């Protein structure tokens, strides 16, 4: 029964019956990140011969280098609403260059492990920039180290150690430590990799935006390395001392004005890692009196017009009795007229004192909310058309293709999840007159993502 349910979106969206060869040809004509993503998805189809799948994945790997965003990012602040939430969802599409390369390599692994290793050797050195306190996004390179760990067990000193030597950012320390543990190498290789990690960790400081959201997870990873070293009869004092220097330098260094580092990592070090000759960390060593700037761009919907739109949205969701409107109430002429007025207000809002990026994110969220509350029928068609008009008219596409694509990707994903509702509107989306949007709708019909990747975007 479950399998039949998951087939419904495919049957519904497949009205245009695109051919595999036709989709592959169209994919090659898309911008880099979309071409790579599409080729990876098409290569996952079981009916594609192995040799052709490998070729598609190699093509995807090389097209990934054209992606506008080189690395995956995530919000490095506690506030996960507004712009921070939007950017997390945008990057959840895995359309950055690094994620696309890793996805391609992961798909090659079971087909040709040697080819997968060769592709990874072509990945440029991983340069993770320091993040100023004025930015709220940090980097997420965990997939990179997970793939490296799966490929590097045969030749850890040749393949893995040089990549450890490249580490410069706090976001790399925990996934690199976990990778070393997962390799299950011999003692000499293990000793060399741990020494390499300790050598770079002691030098990392001055990036509080990246340090703060990673410090809690890093301590247990270092402890696991230390305990594994001791179990193998390998001294661990060098790594422990390096990690101590790392903590002191980053706790005592300049801090972003909007971060509040917990004492837990220091307590964890003193309780689990400090042992003669490595001393516990004293309070005076980890005290910082230097404050840097705070993140910009987190505050959203500050204009009066935007706040009015938010209030109107509440009026579309809740009736005068503060209850959610039923579908029968939404079928009334009064509610539908309110929706028409709201759509016009959203379309006309230009955000005179707001950046283009913020306006695009706000409008994307508003259209997404409307898709969620509008029941099937004529008004849902109107909302879908308004969403498509917004995406098609977005000048933001040239500046940031990944962010631009998110509302369209959400719409296509919802059509997959709701085959008897939004899924019926596939023909309207195909007439959106945008080659990327129409292509992805056809791609969904032949290589559907399934519920989990779609839910990550909502």
Report the alpha-carbon distance of residue 99 to residue 147 in Å, rounded: 11
More confident of the two residues 32 and 431: 32
393: Cβ contacts below 8 Å, ≥ 6 apart: none
Q: Is the pLDDT of residue 237 over 90?
A: yes
195-228 pLDDT tens trace: 999 999 999 999 999 999 999 999 999 999 999 9
In the predicted model, what is the mean pLDDT of the chain?
A: 90
Q: Which pLDDT value is given to residue 354?
A: 61
Q: Which pLDDT value is given to residue 353?
A: 58
Weakest-pLDDT range from 2-11, 99-108, 180-189: 2-11
pTM of the model: 0.91
394-403 pLDDT tens trace: 667 778 899 9
Report the alpha-carbon distance of residue 292 to residue 208 in Å, rounded: 9
- Please give the structure tokens belonging to residue 11: 């049957």
Cβ–Cβ under 8 Å, residues 72 and 98: yes
Alpha-carbon separation of residue 369 from 219, 251, 339, 383 (angstroms): 40, 41, 12, 10
More confident of the two residues 448 and 355: 448
The number of angstroms, rounded, from the C-alpha of 434 to the middle of its chain's C-alpha atoms is: 24
Cβ–Cβ under 8 Å, residues 168 and 246: no
SS3 state at 253: coil
Cβ–Cβ under 8 Å, residues 246 and 204: yes
Nearest to 444 by CA among 47, 113, 1, 16: 16
Report the alpha-carbon distance of residue 174 to residue 374 in Å, rounded: 44
pLDDT-derived band at 93 (thresholds 50, 70, 90) equals: very high
Q: Is the pLDDT of residue 1 over 70?
A: no
Average of pLDDT values for 253-278?
93
Nearest to 223 by CA among 237, 240, 238: 240
Q: Which pLDDT value is given to residue 394?
A: 64
């Amino acid at each position: 029964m479950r399998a039949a349910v998951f087939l419904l979106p495919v049957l519904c969206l497949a009205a245009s019956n695109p051919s595999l060869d036709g989709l592959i040809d169209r994919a090659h004509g898309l911008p880099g990140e979309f071409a790579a993503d599409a080729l990876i998805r098409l290569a996952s189809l079981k009916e594609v011969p192995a040799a052709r799948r490998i070729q598609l994945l190699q093509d995807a790997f090389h097209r990934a280098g054209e992606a506008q965003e080189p690395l995956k990012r995530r919000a490095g602040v506690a506030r996960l609403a507004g712009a921070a939430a939007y950017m997390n969802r945008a990057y959840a599409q895995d359309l950055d260059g690094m994620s696309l390369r890793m996805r391609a390599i992961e798909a090659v692994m079971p087909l040709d492990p040697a080819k997968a290793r060769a592709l990874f050797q072509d990945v440029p050195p991983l340069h993770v920039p320091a993040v100023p306190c004025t930015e709220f996004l940090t980097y997420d390179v965990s997939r990179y180290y997970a793939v490296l760990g799966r490929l590097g067990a045969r030749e850890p000193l040749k393949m893995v150690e040089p990549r450890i030597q490249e580490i410069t950012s706090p976001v790399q320390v925990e996934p690199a430590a976990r990778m070393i543990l997962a390799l299950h190498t011999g003692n000499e290789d293990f000793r060399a990799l741990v020494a390499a990690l300790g050598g770079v960790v002691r030098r990392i400081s001055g990036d509080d935006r990246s340090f703060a959201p990673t410090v809690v997870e890093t301590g247990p990873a270092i402890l696991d390395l230390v305990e594994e070293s001791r179990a193998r009869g390998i001294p661990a004092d060098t790594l422990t001392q390096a990690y101590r220097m790392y903590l002191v330098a980053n706790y005592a260094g300049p801090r972003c004005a909007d971060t509040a580092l917990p004492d837990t990592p220091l307590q964890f070090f003193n309780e689990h890692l400090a042992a003669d000759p490595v001393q516990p960390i004293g309070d005076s060593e980890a005290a910082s009196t230097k404050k840097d700037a705070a993140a910009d761009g987190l505050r959203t919907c500050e204009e009066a017009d935007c706040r009015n739109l938010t209030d109107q949205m509440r009026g579309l969701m809740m009736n005068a009795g503060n209850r959610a409107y039923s579908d029968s109430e939404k079928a009334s002429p009064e509610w539908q007229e309110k929706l028409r007025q709201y759509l016009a207000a959203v379309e006309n809002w230009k955000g005179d004192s707001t950046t283009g990026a913020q306006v695009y994110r706000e409008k994307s969220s508003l259209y997404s909310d409307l898709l969620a509350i509008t029941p099937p029928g004529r008004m849902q068609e109107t909302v879908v058309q308004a969403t498509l008009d917004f995406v098609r008219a977005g000048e933001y596409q040239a500046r940031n293709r990944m962010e631009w694509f998110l509302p369209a990707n959400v719409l296509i994903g919802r059509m997959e999840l709701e085959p008897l509702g939004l899924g019926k509107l596939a023909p309207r989306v195909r007439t959106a007159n945008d080659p990327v949007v129409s292509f992805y709708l056809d791609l969904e019909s032949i290589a559907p993502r399934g519920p989990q990747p779609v839910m990550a975007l909502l």
